Structure 1
Amino acid sequence: MIYGLEPTRMNCDRLFNLLCLYGNIEKIKFLKSKPGAAMIQMADAAAVDRAVTHLNTAQLFDKKLNLAVSKQPEIMAGVAYELEDGTNSFKDFHGCRNNRFSSPEQAAKNRILPPSSVLHFYNAPPDFTEDSFNQICDEFELEKPTSFRLFSGKSERSVSGLTEWASKTLATEALAVLNHYQMKSTGISLLLMLYLRHCWT
């Protein structure tokens, strides 16, 4: 269970963007009877424990999150409704390619960290710049990072780097909104998905 979600800014995909750093997500359901509350079904109990440990009391869109283990062992879809942004209140993520713990090799690449002011981005187009990132932040009414650094990558298909915000809260908001954001590279018929994750500060 997660409480304290800002109803105008959060939906199933954005909640997935935040929680997928701690384990595979199977289903997410917002509760109509409790605005700002949602149930998340993860692939295993360890993933739930990691999410609760690292995100409980985190600040997000002027709200304090409250995470706890649910008494229900499974989410039943039930009757879905429309969230404030027009998206569905229920979504099934089972088998989603954006889940990051689908194999032991894939799981080993993940660093389990609490929210920080620094985000690592990767899989961005080769022509990606600080201005590109700032434009995306403007598009979603997010605060811009205070610093931006590109790594000297070996790949011609994508680039990676670090961004830092003035606070953990602002970085976590960017993570929830921009993780898995799809971008098209200039002059390349390739659709890339921007991946984000927390880094040590």
Structure 2
Amino acid sequence: MAETSKVIHIRNVGPEISENDLRELFQPFGGIPKLVMLHAKNQALLQMQDVSSAVNAMQFYTNVQPTIRGRNVYVQFSSHQELTMMDQNAQGRGFQALIQYDAQQNAISARTSIQIANAAAITEAFGGALPPGISGTNDRCTVLVANLNPDRIDEDKLFNLFSLYGNIVRIKLLRNKPDHALVQMGDGFQAELAVHFLKRARLFGKRLDINFSKHPHITQGADAHEYVNSNLNRFNRNAAKNYRYCCSPTKMIHVSSLPQDVTEEEIVNHFEEHGAIVNTKLFEKTRKKQAHVMFENEEQATEALVCKHATSLGGSIIRISFSQLQTIRENSQ
């Protein structure tokens, strides 16, 4: 075993595991001031508040197999005594630095500002110009969603829909107005995209009413669900590419991360509860199995997306977005 350290190295951290999941695993043993996800290697580095806390955690998990979301993870002391800078080989991308801000929201704002700082790349993603009605200068990050179906909606379903247009910080259902919710996006530009593309969307028999909120952000608390560290946020990597896929809800969904042996029948069985399926097509792109599923209308496709994004199909966690194709062609990819 490596020399004792307050830094713990965690392996087999799958894409479905978030920073919050790891924190929940180790918080019973003490504070966790720093945590680094090494996504490219399915690993993480977690720093406890002191060595004794780390030792207690390691002793406990020597006798109890730590499991997150049905996946066994494996822990050991790290060779790092302190998380300050990741070495050159940490993620295989050269030297990287850890910068600690005084508040989590400041770190979020800095990250998202960097992602959209290259305005040319963003406009190129939209075909050389921002969509009509998108200013690109909005600074209000939080949107108010009204006319929800309170019997069928929850925070995760809202996350699945709004994460198509940017990273989600947190979501809060308003208990005094059960058909209202607040959604805090990563920055004002992403909030503007969500308002623009979802302004006429229908979900669970209701036409959504979406506007910018007077609240600049959602206060952290027991009634607010946190998503800032979720691995399901789509814009942490290659944000410009994801902006390219932003559109209003369509009748067609694009399903990726499918198991290689999946069949069209299994896909139909997975989605048919959400509406009549007009057509499906399986195809491979860069050796990865993907599919298009076409419903009778946009509302059915929207329901399928919010209910089935990040669910398991054949042992794989699938990802869903709207497709801008109008019809399924034999060579559609």
**TM-score of the superposed pair, with normalisation by structure 2:** 0.52
Hey, what's the Cα distance between the residues in 2 that align with 1:77 and 1:18? Answer: 21
The answer on 1:167 being equivalent to 2:297 is: yes
1:136 partner amino acid: H
**Deviation at 1:66?**
0.5
| Counterpart pick for 2:227 among 93, 101, 107 | 93
| Counterpart pick for 1:16 among 131, 135, 159 | 159
1:8 partner amino acid: D
What is the total number of aligned residue pairs between the two structures?
180
| Counterpart pick for 1:108 among 233, 240, 257 | 240
Q: Greater helix share, 1 or 2?
A: 2
* Long gaps (5+) in structure 2: 1-143, 327-333
Considering Cα pairs closer than 8 Å and 6+ residues apart, tell me whether 1 or 2 has the greater RCO.
Answer: 1
The answer (yes or no) to whether the contact 2:201–2:248 under 8 Å persists in 1 is no
* Long gaps (5+) in structure 1: 81-89, 186-191
Identity of aligned residues (%): 31
The answer on 1:135 being equivalent to 2:262 is: no
Q: Residue 321 of structure 2 aligns with which residue?
A: 197
Stretches of 4+ aligned residues off by more than 6 angstroms: none
Distance 1:161 1:51, change over 3 A: same
Q: Deviations over 1:3-33 (max 9, x none)?
A: 1111122111110100101000010000001
Distance 1:130 1:8, change over 3 A: farther
**TM-score of the superposed pair, with normalisation by structure 1:** 0.84
| Counterpart pick for 1:45 among 178, 188, 196 | 188
**Deviation at 1:184?**
3.8
Hey, what's the Cα distance between the residues in 1 that align with 2:225 and 2:313? Answer: 23
1:66 partner amino acid: D
1:143 partner amino acid: G
The answer (yes or no) to whether the contact 1:134–1:144 under 8 Å persists in 2 is no
